Structure 1
């Protein structure tokens, strides 16, 4: 038996409840995992509240990030052994292999051995954030030395991963955050400059931080009117990656800047990486190497016990965190 966290209607954190489930032996190509840590994601809250790109079917389970110990493997699985710490590569669908569980069978293709430098909590905080940042900044944009990279929602786990990757490759990470409350922490985490977006002259301050050539790449989780300001500070052929929609306001297409500077603005999800085996293998190698060197390191904001998932979701929606919120099973 295993407990799973589910919900029977959309709503706030209080709709989450615990239900017992039977976990059968792993089938062919599957691995049974004793889950030890679960990473929380903004998508979890959006799915729970009915604002996600995927519609829940009740009773609905949730979760995209986890780490745990291999208990047993099914037929045809040779790459994992009992007792091994593994992390979960996020599935395309929230409903495919939900992670808010104590124990479950996962497809072996979705699992990756944890770097030996990381414990379960850090492993649960690793793969979603760093695969997301890798796909946009490295696989597509190919950032390099001297490139100015603007990162919104910079205190999120993806934002911190992007800061670390930019520094690893010699680029210039510029953190954008709503107020100055997290500015000091972001500088300590490696941001070259921090731009607060609740004040005037965002474009001018961003342009100054980027230097003479302007911003080459934007990794944006917010959307909304801010995009118009950011686009004014971009260089010719700059790229904007929209991977979230935290703003409740419409996101305008900056037509004038796009034409004048030949900008590329595109929607982006981690599935760009995870749906392509070759691309995923290269990403895993890059991230593992970065962890081994100490240049890439997940930052955990707060750890909640599994039984306090409602409190964890309230903390997630409060926007106070710097790094990943983790449930400890």
Structure 2
């Protein structure tokens, strides 16, 4: 029988275990997908550790909000898809019972998008959540335009690297922020116009240096926490701050730049909007076809090594996405 990763209690990576479950037939309006690979995201760690934004239904909870595979079966009433179609899971509803950490899962047909022919399985598994988040925050909310100077925190992560590439595709100027000087060269190679390493540089001061004294037009922040007030000073007067994550779990400070327009962006809300999904899918397909968008995969694990994949995630040293092949 197909394998599924589950957990019966919250805690460290060791609570994860692999079980076998029968294949489920898709309900009306659903498709069954044979998973080829899935990504391990910070949200998965939070859910597993009991830090989820909403309660987790135990026991036998599941994980995984994104992945890629092949349509294996169609439920009644599904049109526009065929068995054998390669797809990306656009958003996994109720991932605690239908997560992507499995050999098969069933999802609403409206929640899969075609997998671009120009991206391989590993890249497809790493594409949707990071790039959707970066695109949604920068384009849909912040209105990023060509020439905008965009300051990107946690730039070595999946969303950060996606934001660098999306800024370049639009014609904006991405300025990357990282905690470690050692990551400077890799971020420049990834497309950053400049890199600010906080282990030796002040973010606001060096942002002004790289923007002719004006400050960033847009700040994309995945960290939050007490440093948000200081970070806001890196933006120009009348600029935009878009927050997309909570890597620092401590309470966020109020922005010290009162002229900012602030957006708290939650990608999963937009992933249920068909029009936004259509725009994002078209943008990403064009980007991977031209080679501007290149999903960064840091490490690849097998399904049997899911505990090690989560241990690696918890180190916080990955430069790109962690992908598990099934």
Same fold (TM over 0.5): yes
Aligned to 2:250: 249
CA distance in 2, matches of 1:124, 1:54: 25
CA shift digits 1:264-312 (9 cap, x unpaired)? 2232111242121112111111111111111111111111001000000
Partner of 1:288: 285
Contact in 2 for aligned 1:32/1:105 (Cα 8 Å): yes
Note if contact 2:298-2:319 (Cα within 8 Å) is conserved in structure 1: yes
Matching of residues 256-267 of structure 1 within 5 Å: 256-258=256-258, 262-267=259-264
> Which deviates further from its counterpart, 267-276 or 36-45?
267-276
Distance in 1 (CA, whole Å) between partners of 2:277 and 2:163 is 17
In the alignment, which residue of structure 2 is the partner of 1:157? 158
| Aligned counterpart, 1:26 | 26
For residues 76-155 of structure 1, the aligned pairs below 5 Å read 76-91=77-92, 93-95=94-96, 97-155=98-156
Distance (Å, rounded) in 2 between the aligned partners of 1:173 and 1:20: 45
SS of equivalent to 1:36: strand
- Deviation, structure 1 residue 56: 1.1
Q: Unaligned 5+ residue runs, structure 2? A: none
Q: Distance in 2 between matches of 1:39 and 1:95?
A: 15
Q: 1:137 to 1:284 in 2, by over 3 A?
A: same
What do residues 76-129 of structure 1 show as CA deviations (whole Å, max 9, x unaligned)? 112221222111012365426311111121211111110001122211111111
How many equivalent residue pairs? 325
Moved more, 210-219 or 126-135: 210-219
Name 2:231's counterpart in structure 1.
Answer: 230
Q: Is the 8 A contact 1:85 1:120 kept in 2?
A: no
Aligned residue number for residue 40 of structure 2: 40
1:197, 1:227 → 2: CA distance?
Answer: 14
Contact 1:92–1:271 (CA<8 Å) still a contact in 2? Answer: no
**Cα-Cα RMSD:** 1.5
Scaled by the length of structure 2, the TM-score of the pair is: 0.95
8 Å CA contact 2:91–2:112 kept in 1: the answer is no
Q: 1:264 to 1:91 in 2, by over 3 A?
A: farther
Contact 2:299-2:323 at 8 Å conserved across structures? yes
Rounded to whole Å, the distance in 2 between the matches of 1:162 and 1:92 is 25
Render the CA deviation track for 1:11-50: whole Å, top value 9, x for unaligned: 1100101122222222211111111101110110011111
Hey, what's the Cα distance between the residues in 2 that align with 1:125 and 1:321? 13
**Separation of aligned partners in 1, 2:13 and 2:211:** 40
Report the counterpart of residue 204 of structure 1 in structure 2.
205
Describe the SS at the equivalent of 1:32: strand
The offset of 1:137, in angstroms, is: 0.5
Q: Is the 8 A contact 1:241 1:265 kept in 2?
A: yes
The separation in 2 between residues aligned to 1:201 and 1:157, in whole angstroms, is 23
Structure-1 separation of matches of 2:83 and 2:92: 22
Could you list the runs of 5+ residues in structure 1 that have no partner in the other structure?
A: none
Residues 228-255 of structure 1, C-alpha deviations (whole Å, 9 max, x = no match):
222112112212122211114331002x
Distance 1:96 1:166, change over 3 A: farther
Does the CA-based 8 Å contact 2:164-2:174 persist in structure 1?
Answer: yes
Which residue, out of 315, 326, 329, partners 2:323? 326
Cα pair distance change 1:185/1:81, threshold 3 Å = same
2:196 counterpart residue number = 195
Counterpart in 2 of 1:279? 276
- Are 2:224 and 1:184 aligned? no
TM-score normalised according to structure 1 size: 0.95
Indicate the residue corresponding to 1:3 in structure 2.
Answer: 3
| SS across alignment from 2:84 | coil
